[in-house]
Every structure is written in C-alpha cells, then in structure tokens.
C-alpha cells in the first residue's frame, strides 16, 4: 500500500506530496514541527504535543492553520489511512506561501503537512535495554531560542553528522562553559553514583521534551530522586549511568561517550527500569 500524507487540506499519496517553492518553510525555515509516537494505533501524549506546538506557533507569531479538534482528526486519519499500529507522526506548520522577503508577509495562509512511518518500538526498547548506544560531544552552536521547536535545524544536523562520522549514535551538545545542554535531537540525563537522576532545567533554554516530561513522571512514580540543574561534560563522564530521551528513543542508555565508558559500559539498572516503566506507560494509553 502506498503511504498517504496530508498536505494543506488534502490526503495524497507520498509520491504526490509537494509544497510550493515559495513556502516560507522551504525558503527560510519559517516554521515549527512536532513528532508524535503512535502505539497500537493511539497517539502518545497527544495533548502535551499540541500544547507545545501551539506555544511554538505563538512564539513565532504563526497563526494556527485550524483549531485543535480538526487537527486531532487529521492526525488520527493519517494514522488510519496508513494502517499504522506502531509508528511516528511528523507534522509541520509554516507561515505559508509568500513572495520571498525577510519580513513577515502582510497576507499568508499557514501551511500544514503530516506524514507517518512505521516503527518497531518493542525492538528498539529491547535493543536499548540490552546494548545502549555511543555518543560524541559536540559544541552547541544553535540559536538562542531552543525552547521553540523550529524547523531551523542545521546546527543540529551538523552535530548529528559529526557524531555519526565519529561512530556514535547521538551528539551530546556542550555549551561554551563546558556544560551539557541536550542532544542534537534528544534530551540528556545522567544518574549520579548515589542514584539521583539529573537533567538540565527547561528554564536554561532547553527544549521541553514531551518524552522527557513523561519519563520524569514515570521516574517520580517509581520514587526516584530527580534534580534539574547544570552538569559538566566531565561530571557526566564520571556518572554511574547516562541516557537520552526522545519520542523515538524512549530512555536509551548512553554507554560510551567520546570513546570512554559510562559506568561499566553497559546499560545500567536505572535506565533499564525506566525503559520497562515507560513501555508500560505507552501501553496504558494504547
């Protein structure tokens, strides 16, 4: 079956899914996006994702293309038409089509596209718990509004590519003062040797990850101690455990950073417990 996308009011086959060359998302990355996991046909954390989407649009002064109710319908319809059980939705909203000029156009209609792809969450969570991943530290050269989920992702792409060329799965971004901020497409956590979970506060210009927040709630339900603060690259390399969170990666252990083992170089008990608990959390909503 051909994949189906939603493009500005129409459901079309993927090979016919196009946007105008004067769309400001294409010309200026003048847009926002969200990625939502689908578990057993249900959208995981849909409302928090929509909350963040609306906030991003507000911060960039992009008018919502529709109200939430029809948007919910479209997202679920794309899942239904593609017969997705477990998968990942990508949705993007831009300021729309206008003559190329840097200032906001006087008149434009926001553009919206939605796609979905299949994912095997069970396999990825099993792999995470058994193997973990390697990461590479990279300088954080992103713009000053990382709290907005903007489509302007070139610095993230460069960091991710540098990590892949170093044989790593993810880039751990480090600011000019030597503190870890987040990953190129993830939030970063560490577990101290006394068992405390530590991650950067979203007040520090960190993207408020939806999976980050859900994993935090899961950890709190397990009575794990959590601290939101700065931590240095040196501190995390000396941690008992390290892991990343994202909609597609759950709580994946980072077992090697810059060629150095984190802990004993295998997925630790805290991350394993969070993977199991987060899987149960996803299933409960499915």
β pairing state of 10-13 and 31-39: unpaired
Class of domain 125-284: alpha beta
Domain extents for the chain?
4-119, 125-284
Residue 149 is among the residues annotated as catalytic for this protein? yes
Give this prediction's pTM: 0.94
Q: 4-119 with 125-284: one CATH topology?
A: no
Residue holding tokens 């991003």? 56
CA distance 54 to 162: 32
Which overall architecture, per CATH, does domain 4-119 show? Answer: 2-Layer Sandwich (3.30)
CA distance 116 to 4: 8
Per-residue pLDDT tens digits of the chain, which is 286 residues long: 569 999 999 999 999 999 999 999 999 999 999 999 999 999 999 999 999 999 999 999 999 999 999 999 999 999 999 999 999 999 999 999 999 999 999 999 999 999 999 999 999 999 999 999 999 999 999 998 999 999 999 999 999 999 999 999 999 999 999 999 999 999 999 999 999 999 999 998 899 999 999 999 999 999 999 999 999 999 999 999 999 999 999 899 999 999 999 999 999 999 999 999 999 999 997 6
CA distance 151 to 160: 15
Decide: residue 240, CB within 10 A, 0-12 exposed, 13-18 middle, 19+ buried. Answer: middle
The H or E element that residue 237 is part of is helix 233-237
Among residues 126, 149, 160, 217, which one is catalytic? 149
């Amino acid at each position: 079956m051909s994949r189906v996308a939603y493009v500005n009011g129409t459901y079309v086959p993927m090979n016919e899914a196009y946007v105008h060359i004067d769309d400001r998302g294409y010309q200026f990355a003048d847009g926002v996006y969200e990625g939502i996991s689908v578990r057993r046909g249900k959208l995981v954390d849909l409302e928090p994702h929509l909350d963040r989407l609306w906030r991003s649009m507000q911060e960039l002064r992009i008018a919502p293309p529709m109200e939430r109710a029809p948007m919910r319908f479209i997202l679920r319809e794309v899942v239904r038409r593609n017969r997705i059980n477990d998968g990942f939705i990508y949705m993007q909203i831009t300021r729309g089509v206008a003559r190329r000029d840097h200032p906001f156009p006087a008149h434009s209609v926001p553009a919206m596209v939605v796609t979905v792809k299949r994912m095997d969450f069970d396999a990825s969570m099993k792999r995470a718990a058994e193997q973990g991943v390697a990461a590479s530290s990279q300088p954080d050269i992103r713009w000053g509004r990382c709290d907005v989920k903007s489509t302007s992702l070139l610095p993230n792409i460069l960091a991710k590519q540098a990590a892949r060329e170093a044989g790593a799965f993810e880039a751990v971004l480090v600011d000019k003062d030597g503190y870890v901020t987040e990953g190129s497409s993830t939030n970063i956590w560490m577990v101290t040797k006394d068992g405390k979970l530590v991650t950067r506060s979203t007040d520090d210009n960190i993207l408020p990850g939806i999976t980050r927040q859900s994993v935090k709630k899961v950890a709190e339900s397990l009575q794990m101690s959590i601290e939101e603060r700065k931590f240095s690259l040196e501190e995390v390399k000396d941690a008992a455990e390290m892991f990343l969170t994202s909609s597609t990666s759950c709580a994946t252990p980072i077992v090697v950073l810059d060629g150095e083992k984190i802990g004993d170089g295998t997925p630790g008990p805290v991350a394993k417990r969070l993977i199991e608990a987060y899987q149960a959390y996803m299933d409960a909503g499915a």
